[in-house]
Structure 1
């Protein structure tokens, strides 16, 4: 779905006043509308490990959680739970979604003292699912979130019903273009330090970004820039993490869980050559490649992505 009609009233607010308070209010109101349309609500909770989480979960007024299969959706590096809202909107009512901001991201605990490895994040997510009293669940992750999904499957294979790898790290075969810019520049385009630099982040991440008013992009950029120091810490942890370099390590062949590999063919960060490598190493995997789509298919092509996962989750339903 297009966002333009949903943001009409906040665009009007923007033109009526240049006040920063008004634009921030409009941004929050527009995002709240999107969550509401997707049947998602905000929650804040602190788990036994001391992490204070911001999560989105499906509304449950119509029927109990137990009557729907649970799906844990994990965003990528320097992103947050909002990346999944349009995807969840396409599947509203079919599943019970748990969509957290990961530690180090969004409104969840963010500090320089935590370790942000795939294994550590997976352990925290299992603690979160325990707190929510959810024993079994599907998991799908984008980019870094895919590598965390694989770590979850290693730590708790008896709890994971299926895995979704969406332009996933784990093998982390970067494109030549992305490797070149990381080698030739002192800055990472995925870590904006100013609101203006966030434009470059979007260009690297998406081939077909959804429509967003310019003031929304500016606010998002300011939020990302404010978290730059923590994002740099997360990135340093990733560079040294074995969980990001699983190829030919005899780890993936041991994961006997149905897996869907979904990829955007135009991904500028993790090339489509990752798909064949995942299929070769994961015993119960199959793949779908979306033409004309970049690194974040669930945000760029939520309808196609949701259709793929709806069919997959129904097929592997226990």
Structure 2
């Protein structure tokens, strides 16, 4: 797709299929791509469901004329532009990490467009910046290479797998703007209130290794369905995709 977002020319790489039902829109996380969700076509519980996935600016096969303009607000503007260009008025959304925050901000702008929201460890509080806050704590070094190596040796499931492809999937020129704005929103964006106030069915999915997140009981008490994925950390699509897809299919059905 050829788009111009906030004065920046984009060629957005997409994957998807059509159909009569409202589509499922997938928004990938930092350092990932649309292929995180390509296996939807192999899920019996989602057979024939229309969907859309795309590479966010700064990642995968999408090209961006000015990576210095990429930030969380820019990613939200891009999502809105993609949906508008395709004529998608109502949709289900599944967002992971950075993509979960993108989905939250998009839904907060106009909740009438979103039917159901699966938030896979999208940022809701300062404690969620375990990776992104390194842009602050390790500011005085070759940040991108250091980020790859620190992630590779982190103990949680699938971190080494994620780190191995990070240099191929992420453009270094877009990293700082995304991570700095992500940390700022997590610290000051009142994200929890935004999520809890959405007038639509919501699921918060998390890996069992992250079951210590302090706000899980608050989410459940406010009507959010919790989905703990066993034998998984921050990346259930890598560590335990079968359980992830089963929970997504059940919720969206």
TM tier, shorter chain?
A: 0.7 to 0.9
Is residue 2:106 matched to residue 1:152?
yes
Partners in 2 of 1:96 and 1:162 — Cα distance?
Answer: 14
In the alignment of these two chains, the number of paired residues is 248
* 2:71 paired residue number: 116
Q: Deviations for 1:51-82, whole angstroms, at most 9, x for unmatched residues?
A: 32011113xxxxxx342330011111122212
* 1:240 paired residue number: 184
**What SS is found at the alignment partner of 1:207?**
coil
Partners in 2 of 1:160 and 1:252 — Cα distance?
Answer: 13
RMSD: 3.5
* 1:273 paired residue number: 214
Deviation at 1:252, TM superposition (A): 3.1
Among candidates 36, 47, 52, match of residue 3 of structure 2: 47
Partners in 1 of 2:112 and 2:200 — Cα distance?
Answer: 9
Larger Rg belongs to: 1
Deviation at 1:264, TM superposition (A): 0.1
Is residue 2:24 matched to residue 1:71?
yes
Deviation at 1:181, TM superposition (A): 6.9
Partners in 1 of 2:70 and 2:101 — Cα distance?
Answer: 15
Deviation at 1:88, TM superposition (A): 5.1
Q: Deviations for 1:194-233, whole angstroms, at most 9, x for unmatched residues?
A: 8xx74643554851579x7xxx986x354257x2232123
* 2:57 paired residue number: 103
* 1:34 paired residue number: none
* 2:225 paired residue number: 286
With over 3 angstroms needed to count, the CA separation of the structure-2 counterparts of 1:247 and 1:74, relative to structure 1, is: closer
Structure 1: segments with no counterpart, 5+ residues: 1-44, 59-64
Structure 2: segments with no counterpart, 5+ residues: none
Partners in 1 of 2:134 and 2:71 — Cα distance?
Answer: 24
